Amino acid sequence: MTLTEGHLTIDPPAGVPVWNVDPYAPDIQTDPIPFFADLRAKGPFAYLPKYSMLICGGYEVTKEVFSDHERFVSSRGVGLQDFSMGEPWRPPSIVLEVDPPDHNRTRRAIMRALSPKVVADLKPLFKADADALVASLIGRDIDGVADLAEVFPCTVFPKAVGLKNPDRKMLLSYGLMVFNALGPDNAQRQAAMANAPVVGPWIAEQCLRENLTEGGIGAAIYASADDGVLTEDEAGMLVRSLLSAGVDTTVTAVGSALWSFAKAPEQFAVLRDDPQGRALAAFEETIRYTSPVNAFCRTTNVDTEVAGVSIAAGTKILCVLGAANLDDAHWLEADRFDISRRTIGHLGLGAGVHTCVGQNIARAEGQAVLQALGEQVSAIKQTGPAVWRANNAIRALDSLPLRLEA
Ligand code: OVV
pLDDT digits (tens, 9 = 90+) for 236-265: 999 999 999 999 999 999 999 999 999 999
pLDDT digits (tens, 9 = 90+) for 52-63: 999 999 999 999
**CA 347 to chain CA centroid, nearest Å:** 11
At residue 202 the predicted structure's pLDDT band, cuts being 50, 70 and 90, is very high
Using alpha carbons only, what angle is made at residue 187 by residues 85 and 180, rounded to the nearest 5 degrees?
55
At residue 146 the predicted structure's pLDDT band, cuts being 50, 70 and 90, is very high
Could you tell me the domains of the chain?
A: 3-405 (1.10.630.10)
What is the mean predicted confidence (pLDDT) over 177-196?
98
Residue nearest to atom 10 of ligand 1 (CA): 241
Q: What mean pLDDT is reported for the chain?
A: 98
Residue nearest to atom 2 of ligand 1 (CA): 245
User: What is the reported pLDDT for 269?
Assistant: 98
Residue nearest to atom 1 of ligand 1 (CA): 245
Atom from ligand 1 closest to the CA of residue 393:
1
pLDDT digits (tens, 9 = 90+) for 277-330: 999 999 999 999 999 999 999 999 999 999 999 999 999 999 999 999 999 999
User: What is the reported pLDDT for 309?
Assistant: 98
What is the mean predicted confidence (pLDDT) over 207-234?
98
Q: Could you tell me whether strands 53-56 and 316-320 are parallel, antiparallel, or unpaired per DSSP bridges?
A: parallel
**d(CA 175, ligand 1 centre) in Å:** 9
Residue of 81, 93, 114 to mutate, ligand 1, most atoms within 8 A of C-beta: 93
At residue 1 the predicted structure's pLDDT band, cuts being 50, 70 and 90, is confident
**d(CA 94, ligand 1 centre) in Å:** 9
What residues flank ligand 1, with Cβ below 6 Å?
Answer: 93, 95-96, 178-179, 241, 244-245
What region, left, alpha or beta, does residue 350 occupy, with left being phi > 0 and alpha being psi -120 to 50 degrees?
Answer: left
SS3 306: strand
In the predicted structure, residue 91 carries a pLDDT above the cut 90? yes
pLDDT digits (tens, 9 = 90+) for 364-394: 999 999 999 999 999 999 999 999 999 999 9
Tell me the percentage of the chain whose pLDDT exceeds 90: 100
> CB within 8 A of 35, min separation 6: which ones?
21, 23, 28, 323
What is the mean predicted confidence (pLDDT) over 80-97?
98
Which neighbouring-strand residues pair with 53? Answer: 48
